[in-house]
Amino acid sequence: MQEKRPLVWLSATSADKPLNPALLSQWNIHPFDLTEPPPFGLAGAGKTRVGVLDLSTYPDQGTPYLDQWIEAFQIPYWVGILPSPPHQNTPPGTLISRHCTDYHTLPLDPDRLNTVIGHLWGMAQLQRQSGAEPQDSYREAALEGASQAIRQVRAMLRRFAKTQEPVLIFGENGTGKDTAARFIHAHSSRSTHPMVTVNCAALPVSLTQSELFGYEKGAFTHALDSRRGRLESADGGTLLLSGIDELVPEQQSAILRFLQDGQIERIGGSQSRKVDVRVIATSSRPLKKLVETEEFRSDVYYRLGSLEVQLPALRDRPEDIPIVANKLLANIHTAFGVRKLSNQAMQSLALHDWPGNLRELQNRLRQAMLLSESAMIEPADLGLAELTASSPGKSGLSLEAFRARADRQALTCSLELSHQNVSAAARILNISRVSFYRLMDKYGPHNQPRQDKPLRNHH
């Protein structure tokens, strides 16, 4: 008898909710509670190819841990379940559009759901065998583009790669922060040594010391053998602290000593060890603001924050959307067949706000691959039929509109790079201060400084 394939069922009520027998007969379902954070070292992560995001009962507190679950499982395809067809302006609808390739509404049709899940499983297996893991597609395309914003980011990453200093990378979810970290490592003198990642959001406080520093045999119950920690495993290479803004103060304190002197001591050990590790940290929230609200330790921040880079949101570089979309399609077409975006579809992509950034773009393209009945993808296949040039309140694409958004992004980036110094920002753009002020008056940002002395950096 063929072994059942594993299927993750992520729901606010999955632990005590009876599942449909028709599903149980074909899949080995692993239910998880969406209202709790994922455990560290999640069993089965990386092995399951398809997951179900059950939002049939939307939790009152929302889904604060959803991104952590998505990152922990690294599942290429998610199928959503909703009580009724989603609306884009509702939280469940937004989550479905960001994370899911397909969705179903109640009452469930088990045969249809089984067919879709089975199809997605097969697609994931094909892509796995071809060496093109679908979950990595948007990360591979994260730094693609010709906009001034992304070109400045690439230039900064190349400069940072030549140093040994810690780096802080900021950006909204789905902008490719881990990709930027890997870029720095790959272009550095440490590229031949390991890059070890710690998912801070899934790191329990009680395991912080043992995971980072390791332990000696007999240090505690069940410590049957000595074990190296993540820092020791990264010796000579790079340690990526992914989502460092999720660490509580107690966990921040645990890494402070290493940041100060580069030494570690295993739990149960009596000897300090010197390790040569470069630290790169990513955050969805500016740590400077967290320091001001006392949510993040200032001494840890200043040890980490010698070099900083902020990744632009996808909506702030619309001129890159055709490049990134075509790059993603090239990674998807091996399993689904060749598809192209129509002019109307490309226009709808450029007009969308992209709250989920590159991850949402990838999921919408996968959805379109499933729904499109022809070789040409249309706005309806993307779930963006309402975003056309003739939609009320939306202006069509124009060269002037693209230039305006590029100018706004140039202003923002130059002010960030110059720490809000207008003269320095004007020099970065190779324009006069008068021209810089004219651009500020025309495009904003209206709350930026009009003086030359540096202000506090609000990264």
Render the burial of 74-100: b for 16+ CB within 10 Å, e for the rest.
ebbbbbbbbeeebeeeeebbbbbbbbb
Q: What residues does 199 pair with on adjacent strands?
A: 242
* CATH code (residue 326): 1.10.8.60
Residue 253, in any domain of the structure: yes
Same domain flag for 160 and 237:
yes
Same domain flag for 70 and 90:
yes
Nearest Cα to Cα of residue 378 among 345, 337, 423, 351: 345
- Rounded Cα distance between 156 and 428, Å, is 13
Residue 327, in any domain of the structure: yes
Number of residues written out for the chain: 459
- How many structural domains does the chain have? 4
Q: Which amino acid is at 228?
A: R
Residue 389, in any domain of the structure: no
CB-side neighbour CA atoms (13 Å) of 209: 14
Contacts of 246 (CB under 8 A, 6+ apart): 68, 200, 201
Choose one of 70, 94, 129: the last residue of a domain: 129
| 3-class DSSP assignment, residue 10 | strand
Residue 58, in any domain of the structure: yes
In tens digits, the chain (459 residues) has pLDDT values of 567 888 888 888 755 455 566 666 778 888 888 888 777 666 555 567 888 998 888 777 777 778 778 877 878 888 988 888 877 667 887 788 778 888 888 888 888 888 888 888 887 777 666 554 444 466 778 898 888 889 899 999 999 999 999 999 999 988 999 999 999 999 999 999 999 999 888 888 888 888 899 888 877 766 677 888 899 999 999 999 999 999 999 999 989 989 988 898 888 887 888 999 999 999 998 898 999 999 999 999 999 877 999 999 998 898 899 889 988 887 775 555 667 888 888 888 988 889 889 988 988 888 888 777 788 898 888 888 775 544 444 444 555 556 666 677 777 777 777 778 888 888 888 888 888 888 787 765 443 433 333 333 333
Same domain flag for 156 and 290:
yes
Q: Write down the residue that tokens 């990386």 correspond to.
A: 46
Same domain flag for 264 and 361:
no
DSSP one-letter string for 151-197: HHHHHHHHHHHTS-S-EEEE--TTS-HHHHHHHHHHTSTTTTS-EEE
Domain containing 42 equals 5-129
Same domain flag for 33 and 168:
no
- Whether 312 and 149 have beta carbons less than 8 Å apart is answered as yes
Same domain flag for 378 and 411:
no
Same domain flag for 165 and 287:
yes
Same domain flag for 74 and 114:
yes
Cα–Cα distances (Å) from 325 to 145, 154, 159, 259, 274, in that order, read 10, 19, 27, 39, 45
Residue 140, in any domain of the structure: no
